[in-house]
């Protein structure tokens, strides 16, 4: 496939440029002016259009929260019977046939990080997945990408009737599991006497080995600081999810140096820890030098509105190029998949969005979406 004569916004260079994009064997083979198609290659004209990398969302529950399905039938994003369940895997709940997956694709969102919600202190693993395909095993970009943990109101509320009703309890349960997993891993590695298999502790081993980060749901400033504190105690990697009050503790976040995923902001403040939410937060954190992603937390905000959320951040003062990076290369880095997606560069997956104008502006249309070098949506 060759996409010809589009104005390319590649996600890494601030200045767009007119070029052709050649995609062969599913990956970008060349970017430049006047590329000649090989015999039999499909040619798509993007003249007068804008061309972007497929958009990426670092934090969603896409495919795990059924579209148009109420109650238990569509609820596969939280385990409500166990406050500590790191052994769960988001991939086992993902439904590629859910209508919201196709809607995300049509909106230009080609890769998401998706997995368990925030009811649990430890909820299980997230994975990175394309939004085009019929079987999740063929759509995976990387699995797992992170271990979900949660602070603040959600685990307190969901397990209040079982006695787990304070922030201290949440932190203590997370520490306990990390201590136990550390001990379990040390016993395994010593080899003298292998410990009895424990699926929960086994699931935490990649976190302690530094292979995947804790993906910490934290809205309020004190919860963000608790997440940072515990990650430092155990020497584990951390990404901060939601980071609603991040603009109140900029210096602390700069010292921590963690990637931050900000959102969902296009919502009502439905609980106390959201009272300080603002679309200014991603811009403030980006200007401070942090790696910022903008997220929908789908289904809180419908997945296909990801570019609109970036546009609202621009309206609140974020640099437009920084906002573009917050829905392309930064979330790809956040998920550990920037070697494949998040920018238009030679050697990366052929995931391309062709739009009538700036997709962060509401009247622009996504006209075609290419995934792995094949036309997946539009015409």
**Span 145-161, pLDDT tens digits:** 999 999 999 999 999 98
If you average pLDDT over residues 209-234, what whole number do you get?
A: 98
Predicted local distance difference test score (pLDDT) of residue 83: 97
Cβ proximity of 327 and 57 under 8 Å? yes
Predicted local distance difference test score (pLDDT) of residue 40: 92
Band of pLDDT at residue 283, cut at 50, 70 and 90 = very high
Q: Tell me: pLDDT of 292 over 90.
A: yes
pLDDT (tens digit, 9 = 90+) per residue, 127-144? 999 999 999 999 999 999
Q: Tell me: pLDDT of 86 over 90.
A: yes
Predicted local distance difference test score (pLDDT) of residue 191: 73
pLDDT (tens digit, 9 = 90+) per residue, 17-28? 999 999 999 999
Predicted local distance difference test score (pLDDT) of residue 163: 85
Of 117, 70, 57, 109, residue with least CA distance to 93 = 117
Give the number of C-alpha atoms closer than 13 A to the C-alpha of residue 356, restricted to the C-beta side. 10
How far is residue 77 from each of residues 187, 220, 237, 335, measured CA to CA in Å? 32, 22, 23, 19
- Exposed / middle / buried, residue 113 (Cβ in 10 Å: 0-12, 13-18, 19+): buried
Predicted local distance difference test score (pLDDT) of residue 194: 84
Task: Write b or e for each residue in 154-171: b if 16 or more Cβ atoms lie within 10 A of its Cβ, otherwise e.
Answer: bbbebbeeeebeebebbb
Q: How many angstroms separate the CA atoms of 12 and 254, rounded?
A: 22
Predicted local distance difference test score (pLDDT) of residue 164: 85
Helix axes 199-208, 167-190, angle to 10 degrees: 90
Q: What is the pTM of this model?
A: 0.97
Band of pLDDT at residue 189, cut at 50, 70 and 90 = confident
Residues 6+ positions from 336 with CB-CB distance below 8 Å:
128, 142, 145, 212
Predicted local distance difference test score (pLDDT) of residue 70: 85
Q: How many angstroms separate the CA atoms of 8 and 346, rounded?
A: 13
If you average pLDDT over residues 339-345, what whole number do you get?
A: 98
Alpha carbon of residue 147 to chain centroid? 13
Dihedral-angle region of residue 375 (phi above 0 means left; psi in -120 to 50 means alpha; beta otherwise)? beta
Band of pLDDT at residue 193, cut at 50, 70 and 90 = confident
Predicted local distance difference test score (pLDDT) of residue 303: 98
If you average pLDDT over residues 227-253, what whole number do you get?
A: 98
Alpha carbon of residue 281 to chain centroid? 17
Task: Write b or e for each residue in 57-83: b if 16 or more Cβ atoms lie within 10 A of its Cβ, otherwise e.
Answer: bbbbbbbbbbbeeeeeebbbbbbeebb
Residues 6+ positions from 32 with CB-CB distance below 8 Å:
19, 20
pLDDT (tens digit, 9 = 90+) per residue, 317-329? 999 999 999 999 9
Predicted local distance difference test score (pLDDT) of residue 133: 97
């Amino acid at each position: 496939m060759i996409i010809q004569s589009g104005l390319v916004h590649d996600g890494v260079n601030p200045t767009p440029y007119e070029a052709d994009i050649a995609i062969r064997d599913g990956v970008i083979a060349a970017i430049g002016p006047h590329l000649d198609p090989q015999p039999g290659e499909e040619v798509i004209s993007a003249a007068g259009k804008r061309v972007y990398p497929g958009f990426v969302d670092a934090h969603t529950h896409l495919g795990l929260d059924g579209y148009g399905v109420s109650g238990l039938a569509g609820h596969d994003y939280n385990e409500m019977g166990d406050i500590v369940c790191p052994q769960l895997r988001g991939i086992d709940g993902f439904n590629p046939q859910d209508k919201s997956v196709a809607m995300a694709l049509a909106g230009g969102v080609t890769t998401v990080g998706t997995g368990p919600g925030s009811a649990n202190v430890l909820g299980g693993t997230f994975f990175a997945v394309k939004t085009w395909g019929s079987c999740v095993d063929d759509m995976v970009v990387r699995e797992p990408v992170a271990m979900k943990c949660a602070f603040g109101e959600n685990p307190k509320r969901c397990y209040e009737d079982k006695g787990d009703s304070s922030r201290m309890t949440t932190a203590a349960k997370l520490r306990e599991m990390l201590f136990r997993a550390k001990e379990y891993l040390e016993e395994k590695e010593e080899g003298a006497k292998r410990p009895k298999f424990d699926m929960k502790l086994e699931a935490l081993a990649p976190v302690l080995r530094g292979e995947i980060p804790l993906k910490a749901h934290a809205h309020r400033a004190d919860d963000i600081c608790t997440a940072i504190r515990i990650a430092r105690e155990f020497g584990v990697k951390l990404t901060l999810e939601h980071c609603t009050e991040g603009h109140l503790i900029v210096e602390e976040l700069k010292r921590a140096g963690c990637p931050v995923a900000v959102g969902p902001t296009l919502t009502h403040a439905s609980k106390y820890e959201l009272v300080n939410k603002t679309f200014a937060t991603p811009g403030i954190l980006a200007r401070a030098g942090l790696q910022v992603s903008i997220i929908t937390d789908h289904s809180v905000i419908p997945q296909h509105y990801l570019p609109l959320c970036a546009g609202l951040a621009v309206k609140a003062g974020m640099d437009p190029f920084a906002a573009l990076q917050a829905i392309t290369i930064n979330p790809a880095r956040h998920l550990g998949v920037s070697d494949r997606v998040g920018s238009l560069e030679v050697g990366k997956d052929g995931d391309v969005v062709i739009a009538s104008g700036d997709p962060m502006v509401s009247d622009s249309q996504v006209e075609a979406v290419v995934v792995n070098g094949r036309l997946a949506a539009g015409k």
